[in-house]
Amino acid sequence: MIFLLRRYVRVVDGLNYWIGRVVMFGLFLMVAILLWSSISKAVYVVPAFWTLEMAQYALVAYYLLGGPYSMQLGSHVRMDLLYSNWSDRRKTWFDAFTVCLLIFYLAVLLWGGYDSLAYSLQYNERSPSLWRPLLWPVKTIMVIGILLMLLQAVSELLKDIAKLAGIALADTPSDPETPNVV
């Protein structure tokens, strides 16, 4: 059983690590889109109607696909007012509790996102903007990002439970930003 849990943690952590590393470059895509918007308005005196909405879609992909990576590295925002003074065991208990709440929230969000994606595919939903792009591609990215975040939250919960039990599920790499990948 421990082998399966270790395998799950390794696969999920490795997958989210590499997706996060690739998605980091999405920032350059957003900058390029907005730069094109500025250039087209200044040089061609014709605004590109698609640029702002496309930059927003790129931002959605950036933060939804990068979220699990951020969670894995522990670089998300945490209130340190009380947390920093707690013992490691108490921190682990609190982390496990809050991750359970996160898993519930993400499960509800995934359910709603999937329904919204199904609706978008069924009715060929389009944005109400002047450009009118199809919405199913960005909704697909949203559902994938929420699913990856849910998988990473379960991985974090398993690591917390194992830590409380005195079992090491995740190998501790020499560089904290490079998890061991299967």
In a domain, 38, yes or no: yes
Extract the tokens encoding 33. 């889109």
d(CA 93, CA 25): 35
pTM assigned to the model: 0.87
d(CA 166, CA 11): 21
pLDDT tops 50 at residue 160: yes
In a domain, 181, yes or no: no
In a domain, 121, yes or no: yes
pLDDT of amino acid 173: 47
- Least Cα distance to 117 among 105, 131, 104, 135 occurs for 135
How many domains are there within the chain? Answer: 1
pLDDT of amino acid 177: 55
Q: Which amino acid is at 42?
A: A
In a domain, 171, yes or no: no
In a domain, 81, yes or no: no
pLDDT in tens, 41-80: 888 877 788 998 999 999 999 999 999 999 999 887 777 7
**Sequential DSSP letters for the chain:** -HHHHHHHHHHHHHHHHHHHHHHTTHHHHHHHHHHHHHHHHHHSS---TTHHHHHHHHHHHHHHHHHHHHHHHT-S---HHHHTTS-HHHHHHHHHHHHHHHHHHHHHHHHHHHHHHHHHHHHT-B-SSSS--BSHHHHHHHHHHHHHHHHHHHHHHHHHHHHHHT---S---SSTTS----
In a domain, 178, yes or no: no
pLDDT in tens, 80-99: 788 889 999 999 999 999 99
In a domain, 149, yes or no: yes
In a domain, 170, yes or no: no
- For the chain, give the mean pLDDT: 90
Domain containing 15: what range? Answer: 2-76+86-165
Extract the tokens encoding 15. 């997958």
pLDDT of amino acid 175: 46
